[in-house]
């Protein structure tokens, strides 16, 4: 690969002799021996602030239009409200899903529960973000709102409670930063490796590379059955006017 | 720390110049640079055959006595039958558990379902091996015996079906070779890392470092609640005269 | 244990009959069956912005004083400059380390390379953040600055290149958000599980739960030798006036 | 999927009321709710003894011919000796590799170092088994034979020492049972997940799902560069007459 010969002088010229304690003898190594130039790392321009989409992100909502999304029922244009750079669930119009499909992915999204508190438990500011349309990261107004641990905000719904409850008060914006690894199946449809997820909620680690038990179930028990390698994201219409802004994703595979 | 200086002559004397392609320059390294003498690896004498206990194993059944076990109900001496180097469940006397406790562990065990087939599905040759008394590796006569996938032999009961069904016919001995990693919890009792398990059934990989969802439940949903770092193994009395022999374990932590 | 009996009426009253396809029969489950209230999730107030320390964080630099740090050489008070809410390496005064020790941890830190570019490659805006004083997350002005892949900003130094290069231009602030899992050793000092790390650089995933080969070596080959469960963070004096601000950490174990 | 309605009588008829402690109320669940019949688990007939190939294995040496192998140099028929159901390295004829390629895989192989001990350290009964032709599981007569920890039998050569030294005396057969997960790369050639390996040596766990640092290097530092998803196994000619028998592999993906 490289044609220039490494100068012997340079080897001898290394002045810091390093004693690697577990070796049988002191070995003088040139530091260049552990310097690798491949693979070459591609630059990616970050957003001006960390929550803004970097240059390689697929922007899924830029404040003005839901044209990256369709109704999950019939594929029609979403009936949710877009206003002031924000979109909001319109109850009973059904969930929405992305046109684009994703497998392993980094996702950023921001959500806000209504400032006027109505209902309690699961009835209060409820929605959900479904990776691959199957694996739900719960969205709920969990600020001083008791519900089951594995159903509160930032839980992997009915599977993993968050490590802590980092929810901001009603009417304030919350952020989710998500790293998702899709499950893998073998040729016979048996699970080879399960889905895994890491989540930061408002900058705080709440899911630490946890393993998903299977697609999320509201009633019943999650278990894996083979599915596609890439699938759309879904956002749930749970009847509450939860709002969203600034959603972007970076494919990892 | 080694005090003797590594001979420069030796460095220069390395005749195989290796071109590490991704480095900027060809680097001549002495192979000794990557040779480590610490930590020192301790020898362990294996059994004469692979299924026999190695020198560092805790033998839990050597063919003659159940004195490593107690009744899981009341801690009394087990009422199960010991005969011809084998022990067998005596129905309705209750399960048994080890006196010794284990966390991360390698376990070998051999089990045999009755040669006369009675019943079907879960009623046929049913028992179970519980790591930490909580995480069940299913024992069942699954030879040409339909039941639910996540309840057949070598399943992690009601969690993970085996990758294949490697069960030998009724009356023949089956082996399980198990590598188990215990779950870890943080100071507040939240799960830091879940239990994981690898199983070879009759020499065939059936569970590949899968993640357990929580303690096994017959009725209900597994989920983690903090528990001790080491706990006994249990073997289940499910009412069928399943037999066992040659059980040993090596602590890994 | 709960004493109130779950109303049978409620079970019968579940109107959404869910067909779990892989089960032998349609099962009507109450959704409450999968709702767990333990462990209870503790609330933690996030910072007003995501990069600011949440309520449970250990603040390691709040803008005014280095009193959470000492010189790594002799334990004396650090000789680095503190000014305008920022601290800066003073060349040849040596690295610094925290008084507090950490194992599994989430860390946030912000760093800035000098706006006036001097030198190139590893000579330009070089420092390093050492988890446990041993595992280096590289700090370098890698904006349009060629060096080895496994030595640029956000690399695990001499082990893992970042997935992409997300470095901001000289003089601008960079953030690292880090999730670190400490290595575990068995009673004989053999490695049970290696260190792992996830890093977001300016909000972009650059290290995805990668496994560390051992403590970072400048010259030589990383390999694990048993060490303490918790150790201080170190920041390197590499001779360049790199600046830092807003450093905080949350213990995870 | 299933059309028969689950009898309500059966639900009510469940007599074991299970109190799931972390739920808000006692929930009566039918055990059928957690019984899944899909995916269906395929039967695989194990060998008559655990070390013999199961029905789905690709047999790579059955005792009589090396026709599953070619010379790694030029693809010609291997010049190694086959005799008495065993094949043996013929020094200086070069290594051999399989015609078949493998990614994720379970492998069994048996090897024997010469009963007459010649040489010491790495000079004594040395060969190697290379997964994907790149990742070496070391073969060496390590019975009472000092060498570097990360170069002895059952080490991942120059990366991971075995947890214990389970080598049988010279002239006796050793077994390796290996579970290997191939590395994954993204579209740009960056490493997504590294190779991992579990090894039982004579039935004793010696590598516990360890992560490989990259392709094995004799001189130099391992690091990943993108490669194919499946590649042949190699066996090394290191100049010593090491013998082999009973080699088989099961594809896992």
Does C52 map to a domain? no
With a cut of 70, say whether residue D245 has pLDDT above it.
yes
Confidence of residue C24 (pLDDT cuts 50, 70, 90): confident
Please give the mean pLDDT across all residues of chain C.
Answer: 90
pLDDT at position D21: 52
Task: Write out the two tokens for B115.
Answer: 């040669």
Is there a contact between A202 and A169 (Cβ–Cβ < 8 Å)?
Answer: no
The predicted model gives C3-28 an average pLDDT of 42
User: Which ipTM did the prediction report?
Assistant: 0.86
* Lowest mean pLDDT across A79-93, B135-149, C8-22, D194-208: C8-22
Q: Which domain holds residue A94?
A: 58-251
CATH code (residue A117):
2.60.120.560
pLDDT of A93 above 70: yes
Give the pLDDT confidence score for residue B22 in this predicted structure: 66
Query: Residue A38: its pLDDT value, please?
Result: 87
- Chain C residues with CB under 8 Å of D159 CB are 213
Q: Which of A34, A50, A219 sits opposite C51 (nearest CB)?
A: A50
Q: How does DSSP assign D112-143, residue by residue?
A: E--SS--S-GGGSS-EEEEETTTEEEEE---T
Chain B hits for C146, CB-CB cut-off 8 Å, are none
Question: Taking CB atoms and an 8 Å cutoff, what residues of chain C touch B189?
Answer: 39
| pLDDT range class, residue A245, cuts 50, 70, 90 | very high
In this model, does residue C18 exceed pLDDT 80? no
C104 neighbourhood in chain B, CB within 8 Å:
192
Cβ partners under 8 Å of residue A62, min gap 6 = none
Span D167-177, average pLDDT: 98
Of A2, A24, A36, the CB nearest to B19: A2
Residue of C nearest to D224 (CA): C160
Q: Choosing among B176, B190, B202, B214, which should be mutated to test the D contact, i.e. which has the most D CBs within 10 A?
A: B202
Interface size between C and D, measured as CB pairs under 8 A: 107
pLDDT of residue D1: 27
Q: Is A128 left (phi over 0), alpha (psi -120 to 50) or beta?
A: beta
Q: Do the domain assignments include residue B51?
A: no
Each residue of C93-140: pLDDT tens digit? 999 999 999 999 999 999 999 999 999 999 999 999 999 999 999 999
Q: Tell me which DSSP letter residue D106 carries.
A: E
Q: What is the pLDDT of residue C34?
A: 85
Q: How many domains does chain A have?
A: 1
Residue A10 is assigned to a structural domain of this protein: no
Contacts of A40 in chain C (CB under 8 A): 149
pLDDT for res A2: 30
Residue D207 near residue D197 (C-beta atoms within 8 A): yes
Residue A81 in domain: yes
> How far from A98 is each of A67, A236, D169, CA to CA, in Å?
9, 12, 62
Answer yes or no: is B190 within a domain. Answer: yes
More reliable by pLDDT, B18 or D179: D179
Q: Determine whether the interchain pair B22/A1 forms a contact, defined as Cβ–Cβ distance below 8 Å.
A: yes
CA distances from D186 to A103, B221, C167, D13, D193 (A): 12, 36, 21, 53, 9
Give the pLDDT score at D218.
Answer: 85
* A172 falls within a domain: yes
Q: For residue range D219-229, what is the model confidence (pLDDT) as tens digits?
A: 878 889 899 99
Two structure tokens written together for B82: 């010991």
pLDDT at site A22: 65
Residue A40 three-state SS: coil
Is the model's pLDDT at C11 over the cut of 50? Answer: no
| Confidence at residue A14, expressed as pLDDT on a 0 to 100 scale | 30
Inter-chain CB proximity B37 and A22 less than 8 Å: yes
Is D226 close to A39, i.e. CB distance below 8 A? yes
Q: Do C34 and B148 touch (CB under 8 A)?
A: no
- pLDDT at position B222: 87
Is residue C44 in a domain?
no
Residue D97 lies in a domain: yes
Q: What averages of pLDDT result for each successive group of 10 residues across chain B (253 residues)?
A: 28 32 70 87 96 98 96 97 98 98 98 96 97 98 96 97 97 98 91 96 98 90 92 97 98 92
Compute the mean pLDDT over every residue in chain A, rounded to the nearest whole number. 90
Residue B100, burial from CB neighbour count under 10 angstroms (0-12, 13-18, 19+) = middle
Q: Does the pLDDT of residue D27 top 90, yes or no?
A: no
D210 forms bridges with which residues in the sheet?
Answer: D197
pLDDT mean across residues, chain D:
90
pLDDT tier at C22, thresholds 50, 70, 90: low
Rounded to 10 degrees, what is the CA torsion of A146, A150, A151, A155? 110
The pLDDT of residue A17? 32
Q: What number is the average pLDDT over the span D17-42? A: 74
Average pLDDT over residues D241-249: 98
């Amino acid at each position: 690969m490289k044609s220039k010969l490494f100068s012997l002088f340079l080897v001898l010229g290394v002045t810091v002799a390093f004693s690697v304690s577990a070796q049988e003898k002191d070995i003088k190594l040139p530091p260049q021996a552990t310097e690798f130039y491949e693979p070459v790392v591609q630059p990616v321009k970050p957003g001006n602030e960390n929550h803004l989409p970097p240059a390689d992100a697929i922007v899924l909502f830029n404040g003005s239009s839901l044209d990256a999304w369709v109704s999950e029922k019939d594929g029609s244009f979403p009936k949710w409200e877009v206003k002031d750079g924000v979109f909001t669930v319109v109850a009973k119009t059904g969930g929405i899903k992305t046109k684009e499909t994703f497998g392993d992915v980094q996702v950023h999204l921001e959500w806000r529960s209504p400032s006027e508190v109505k209902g309690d438990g699961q009835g209060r500011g409820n929605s959900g973000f479904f990776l691959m349309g199957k694996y739900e990261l719960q969205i709920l107004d969990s600020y001083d709102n008791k519900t089951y641990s594995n159903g509160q905000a930032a839980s992997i719904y009915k599977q993993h409670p968050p490590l802590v409850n980092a929810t901001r008060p009603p009417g304030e914006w919350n952020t989710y930063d998500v790293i998702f690894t899709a499950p893998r199946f073998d040729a016979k449809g048996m699970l080879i490796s399960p889905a895994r997820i890491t989540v930061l909620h408002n900058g705080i680690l709440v899911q630490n590379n946890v393993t998903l038990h299977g697609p999320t179930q509201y009633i019943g028990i999650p278990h894996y059955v083979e599915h596609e390698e890439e699938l759309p994201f879904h956002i749930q219409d749970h009847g509450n006017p939860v709002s969203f802004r600034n959603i972007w994703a970076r494919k990892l595979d």
